[in-house]
Amino acid sequence: MHASSSIPELYDHVIDNGRLQFIEKLGEGAYGVVYRAVDLDSPTSSRNPDPKQYAVKVMLKAQPRTRHVRYQRGEIAAHRSVSAHPNILTLHKVIEDEPYIYLVMDYCPGGDMFRHITERKTYGGKTDLVKKVFVQILDAVQACHEQGLAHRDLKPDNILCMDESGSRVVLADFGLSTSSDRSSTFGCGSSYYTSPETIGTDFGYRPYDAKVADVWSLGVMLVNMIAGRNPWTSATMEDQCFLRSMTKPGYLQKMLPISDEAVTILQRIFTYDPKMRITLPKLREAILKVKTFFMTKEQLAKSHRFAQIAARSYFQKYYSFTEEDYKEMNALEQAEFGRRENLVEALVVENPTNHFRLVDRVGSPGMPSLTNSDSDSDAESIGPVTPARNAVGSETLVDVPLLKDGEDMGVPVVPTVAKKRRDRPFGSLVQFMERFAL
């Protein structure tokens, strides 16, 4: 049972000596519930009739001398250390009473990037907007890394939009972050976005650099923004979309309407060998040089039907294809996707000249499972966002002084966060193929 289920409804609940009043539940996770709150003391006028708003994350206080205490304090310390960055969600205040801890943060009226991708299709066909937003995300992650912090749960759910346009974003939720140079927590994050070394099964569960793993997650997010889909369900040898993406040059463009420029960048991100992965500064530089992230209509007309279908579902208006363009869809090679290929015990990594070479599969069966002493298989990313079940590391152990109820925030409020629970993210290529019986 999640601890958040033990938190009663707190509508109209007032904290901070009567200053903040809860008015709406925005979302909940494993250990917290997020409410929208209004500042009853904020001045109003005819020009600005509405009081200031915040997102307040409510957490049950962890029992003393437990691992959960370390998680709570680690999350707060991590968020505070980077909160001043313009592309990171501002944490204004941490207060406590019995039996709760309250994290007072900016409220984001634009919701999260997940919503903008899946419901509003905000970024489809808009290279300048994708570039503008993705660079903001890169800058936020770079700021974390410069503070010695790896986020470890990068995904659209954790990118919050300052307004309805989806053009100004901030990074949120530091519940899985770590300051360790080498992490030994495996399966940490959301499966669609975790790197092969983070999963650990094909790497012999060797300690990994979580900052480098963040770059992989950014690559999956870039695919989300360009194509509205996940490239695979899990970056392991058990996932046929992942295997084909690694072993078959051109596979991503076969399935998704991604430009040549974007594919070149993704090849530098999705390197099976973490040491060969592109750095954040180089990635930022490459993103700024892109002319288009999307296939042109002419390229798409000549592309594989799978890419055409994905384009139609994500931004039909941009391409203006008709149903007639897809009448041959069911005649495609269905058998190709109804069987698993006999792949060699190898995976592909990108070498410095951007060619592909096979490397021996690393790791071995029989290594320790996720439920080891450094992980909590029942824990979940908490706060404004709620991913699939994750292992949460116990590596960030920072003592954080909490403020008592009523202490002054000391910083101005800028409108901004929040999130509703999702059981699963938008479709992966596997789900996409199943839907169309490909």
For residue 278, the 8-state DSSP code is: P
Contact call for residues 257 and 293 (beta carbons, < 8 A): no
Question: Does residue 418 surpass a pLDDT of 70?
Answer: no
pLDDT per residue as tens digits for the range 26-75: 988 767 899 999 999 988 767 777 889 999 999 999 888 888 888 889 99
- The whole-angstrom separation of Cα 379 and Cα 179 is 19
Strands (E), 153-271: 159-161, 169-171
pTM of the model: 0.77
Per residue in 245-259, pLDDT (tens digit) is 999 988 999 999 999
| List of domains in the chain | 113-368+424-435 (1.10.510.10)
Average pLDDT over residues 353-361: 29
- Out of 129-143, 196-210, 303-317, 423-437, least confident range: 423-437
| Most trustworthy range by pLDDT among 98-112, 310-324, 334-348 | 98-112
Q: What's the confidence (pLDDT) of residue 330?
A: 39
Tell me how far apart the alpha carbons of residues 237 and 345 are, in angstroms, rounded to a whole number: 9
- Comparing CA positions, the residue from 400, 387, 393, 399 lying closest to residue 210 is 393
Q: Which residues are known to be catalytic? A: 153
The contacts found for 370-373 with CB under 8 angstroms, 24 or more apart, are 370/186, 370/187, 372/186
**% pLDDT > 70, the chain:** 70
Write the pLDDT tens digit of every residue in 359-408: 222 222 221 111 222 333 333 332 222 223 333 333 433 333 344 443 33
Tens digit of each residue's pLDDT (9 = 90 or more) over 126-182: 999 999 999 999 999 999 999 999 999 999 999 999 999 999 999 999 989 999 999
Q: What separation in angstroms does the CA of 274 have from each of 72, 112, 216, 223? A: 30, 29, 9, 19
**Cα 243 from Cα 92, distance rounded (Å):** 44
347 by Cβ neighbours in 10 Å (0-12 / 13-18 / 19+) ranks as: buried
The CA distance from 408 to 92, in Å, is 10
The region of weakest confidence among 195-204, 318-327, 339-348 is: 339-348
> What sign does the dihedral 139-144-146-150 (CA atoms) show?
negative
Nearest Cα to Cα of residue 314 among 108, 130, 112, 110: 130
Sequence-ordered list of residues with C-beta below 8 angstroms from that of 420, at least 6 positions apart, any chain: 26, 27
| Strand residues in 20-115 grouped as ranges (E) | 20-28, 32-39, 53-60, 91-96, 100-106
